[in-house]
Amino acid sequence: MSDTILSVKDLKVSFDTYAGEVQAVRGVSFDLKKGEVLAIVGESGCGKSVTAQTIMRLTPTPPSRIKSGSILFDGDIEITKLSDRQMEHIRGSEMGMIFQDPMTSLNPTMTVGKQITEGLRKHQRITGDAANKRALELLNLVGISNPESRILQYPHELSGGMRQRVMIAISLACNPKLLIADEPTTALDVTIQAQIIDLMKKLSEQTQASIIIITHDLGVVAEMAQRVIVMYAGKVVEQGTVDEVFYNPQHPYTWGLLRSIPRLDEMGGGDLVPIPGTPPDLFAPPKGCAFAARCPYAMQVCLEEDPDHTKLTADHSAACWLLHPDAPKVERPVEAGGRKHG
C-alpha cells in the first residue's frame, strides 16, 4: 500500500468569462503523504485557492473548467472523473474543508449542533441520539466549553474564534482522510490565531488526517507545515520541506517573498526589499517564465520559454532557468533564507 493520499498531476483549471479565458491554474503537480501537513503559499490570484477548491470539486462548472490533469485520491479515486453525486459522497466524509471566513461559511439559520450532525446523518447511518453524542464529543475535541449549551446556539451568538472551532468540528465529523484549510486564521486576531493553530496541530497528530493549509503568512507555514509549495501565476515555482524552502530557497520569487516581510526577531532591521511590479494578467499569461518581468535575474531565455522543474533533492525542486547547468551563477541575497541561529 502506498503512503500517498493525494496525487495531483499537471492540473489546469480555467474560468470562462465574458472577457475571455482566465487561466487560474496552469499545470500544478504535487503529492501529499498520509498524515502530512502541506502548506501552499502565494499572493492573491496565484491559484492556490482554486487548486484547493478543484481538489474538492467546489468550483462550479461553468464558469470553471478542468482543462487537463488528474487528481488521484486515496489510491484509485480519480476526482476529475467523478459525477456530482459520487463527489457529494466523498466531500464531507472523506475530505473536509475549513474556510477563511467562519461567519459566511456557517449557516446563520441553523444551530451549531444541527450543522455538525448534518454531515454525520448524511454520510453515516447513525441515529439522531448517536449523532448528537458525536457532536458533543467533537465540540469537546475542538476545545469549546459547555458543549451541551453551545449545540443549541446559532453562529451569531459565537465569537470569530469560536465559529472557526465549530467549522473545524464540522470538517472533522466523519473522520476525513484529507482536510483542506483555506486561510483558516486570516480573519482572526493573533492570540486567537495561536489558539486555532495549536488546535490544528494537535488534531493532525491525533487523527492522522493529512492537511493542506493555504496561507499567505510564512510564519504560519514555518509553524505548522512539514512541506511547502510556493505558487506564482497559476504554477508551482518551488516546493520542498520547510527547511529546504526557508533555508535554501532556489527560486527568485521565493527569495522575494522572504525578503519582503519583516521579522519580529530581527534587531535593527534595514529596509525591506519589495518585489517590484505586480503579478501578470492571467487572461494572457506571458510566454516564458511568468515571474520574468519582475525578476532581477531574468535572462533572454526566461522571456521565451517556461522553465521545467529542476529536482534538487527527493522533496525539493524549483522551476527556474538559473538552475540550468549553463546558467550564470547567481548569489542568493543574504536576507533570503539561511540560518540565523545555530
Can you give the binding site for another protein, defined by CB under 8 A? 43-44, 159, 161-162, 189-195, 197-198, 216-223, 242-243, 246-247, 256-267, 269, 271-276, 278, 339-342
Per DSSP, helices labelled H in 33-99 are 48-55, 84-90
CB of 278 to another protein, least distance (A): 6
What is the grid cell recorded at 276? Answer: 517590484
CB 305 within 8 A of CB 291: no
CB of 235 to another protein, least distance (A): 17
> Closer to another protein at the Cβ: 73 or 253?
253
> Closer to another protein at the Cβ: 71 or 257?
257
DSSP per position, 304-319:
HSPPPPEE-SSS-EE-
What is the grid cell recorded at 206? Answer: 491525533
What is the grid cell recorded at 280? Answer: 501578470
CB of 143 to another protein, least distance (A): 10
How crowded is residue 287: how many other Cβ atoms within 10 Å of its Cβ?
A: 11
What is the grid cell recorded at 258? Answer: 522572504
> Closer to another protein at the Cβ: 60 or 274?
274
- Find the helix or strand (DSSP H, E) in which 180 lies: strand 178-182
Burial (CB < 10 A; 0-12, 13-18, 19+), residue 94, is: middle
45 alpha carbon, distance to own chain's centre: 13
CB 117 within 8 A of CB 136: no
> Closer to another protein at the Cβ: 82 or 222?
222
CB of 223 to another protein, least distance (A): 4
> Closer to another protein at the Cβ: 62 or 342?
342
> Closer to another protein at the Cβ: 61 or 159?
159
DSSP assigned state of 332 = P
Q: Give the integer Cα–Cα distance in Å for 30 and 69.
A: 12
Q: Helices 112-123 and 160-172: crossing angle, nearest 10°? A: 10
- Find the helix or strand (DSSP H, E) in which 194 lies: helix 190-207
Reference 144, options 126, 124, 120, 169; nearest CA is: 169
> Closer to another protein at the Cβ: 161 or 288?
161
CB of 262 to another protein, least distance (A): 4
CB of 65 to another protein, least distance (A): 26
Per DSSP, helices labelled H in 182-317 are 190-207, 218-224, 242-247, 252-260, 300-304
CB of 200 to another protein, least distance (A): 13
> Closer to another protein at the Cβ: 151 or 242?
242
CB of 183 to another protein, least distance (A): 13
